[in-house]
Amino acid sequence: MKSHLTGIVMVSALVAAAIADAYALQGSSVRDFDAEIRTAMQSAKTAADVEFLGTLSRLCLLPQSSTEDTFDNVPAFVAKPSSAPARETWYADPARVFDNLYFVGGKVHSAWALTTSDGIILIDTIFPYNSEELIVGGMRKLGLDPKNIKYVLISHAHADHIGGAEMLQSRYGAHVVMGAADWDVVAKYPNRYKTMAPKRDIVGTDGMKITLGETAVTIWATPGHTPGTLSYTFTVFDRGRPVHVAYSGGTAFNFPNRTPDPGIRNFQTYIDSQKHMAAQAAATGATVILSNHSEFDNAYNKNRMLAGRGNGPHPYELGTDWVQRYFQVMQNCARAAQIGLERDLVRPAK
């Protein structure tokens, strides 16, 4: 208890210091917040170019949803399955993307099956209403047996990624890996996670390796989107050639961020996580960036390009520079929003 109080006092002191700094800067009137925001936005646009327009629009241009989720209601698509979105809005064909990596997601949300000599590591599980057809059905279409799923990695505990985890754990006995804070959220909101709550299993931590056969996925803690968000690095093969992948586990700013406190701190957590992940991508030589939403990594379109690839380059392989640029987009859009909150400290928003 005492250490908690000390922590709160320290955080309050940090916030007070940040406020004092902001006022001091106002006094010297050296900061042009609007110009700083424009610069950060321009850096994001330059980094995104035409490759990451989806990520740029989500983070820099579209309005942010930023309320803390404290509801515990059964989602409509669970309470009344007939209210789930129509199949044509989410169905996508499965695809073998690399020698050992298969897309088993939908038009909007992704799930990936990484095959190894000793079973399958599944990354993200989409919604309860489409995981059966897209993941179980998709794997069968591609000649993979879902019974061989040994690990299910959940990037974060939102319904569009954890939706099939309970089913895959109970049906196939797969181990589920998730960040500690997100395991806690699942336990805290039993209605919100109805049919989506795997039994608490493996807590993914920074630098942990999930090894199956000769393949390892390294987990990186990237809190921000949710407190327990996990990202990954791993190696796939393209016609026998090793290709390194960075998987970004959480993207949008849907954490509390309307007010300077806690918004400035939450954006800093997010920015620090993207720097951390960019460093891991650089260290592993990642030339592919994957995400769990296809508007961020263009998976849905790239799967169609892949079908016509012939002897051309792999459409997912962008090179190390582009992978770094992806994280630059995330960082600069977050920084632009953070500067807006710094401005609110000295010029409170109406």
Question: What is the total count of residues that contact Zn ion (CB under 5 A)?
Answer: 1
Spatial distance between the Cα atoms of 292 and 208, rounded to a whole number of angstroms:
20
Spatial distance between the Cα atoms of 305 and 288, rounded to a whole number of angstroms:
15
Concatenate the DSSP letters of all residues of 185-240 into one string.
HHHH-TTTTTT--PPS-EEE-TT-EEEETTEEEEEEE--SSSTT-EEEEEEEEETT
> Of residues 109, 150, 158, 325, which one binds Zn ion by CB under 5 A?
158
Strands 215-221 and 95-98: unpaired
Interaction between residue 293 and Zn ion (CB under 5 A): no
Interaction between residue 325 and Zn ion (CB under 5 A): no
Interaction between residue 335 and Zn ion (CB under 5 A): no
Of 79-87, 157-165, 183-191, 264-272, the window that binds Zn ion (rule: CB under 5 A) is: 157-165
Q: Kindly state the smallest distance separating residue 192's Cβ from Zn ion, in Å.
A: 13
Q: Kindly state the smallest distance separating residue 97's Cβ from Zn ion, in Å.
A: 22
Q: Which is nearer to Zn ion, 265 or 293 (CB)?
A: 293
Of 24-53, binders to Zn ion (CB under 5 A) are none
Print the binding letters for residues 248-287 with Zn ion: x by CB under 5 A, - otherwise: ----------------------------------------
Concatenate the DSSP letters of all residues of 72-106 into one string.
----HHHHSGGGSPPHHHH----EEEETTEEE---
Q: Kindly state the smallest distance separating residue 65's Cβ from Zn ion, in Å.
A: 10
Spatial distance between the Cα atoms of 66 and 145, rounded to a whole number of angstroms:
40
Give the residue at shortest CB distance from Zn ion. Answer: 158
Interaction between residue 58 and Zn ion (CB under 5 A): no
Residue 65 carries which DSSP code? P
Is 139:102 a contact under the CB 8 Å cutoff?
yes
The residue ranges that bind Zn ion (CB under 5 A) are 158
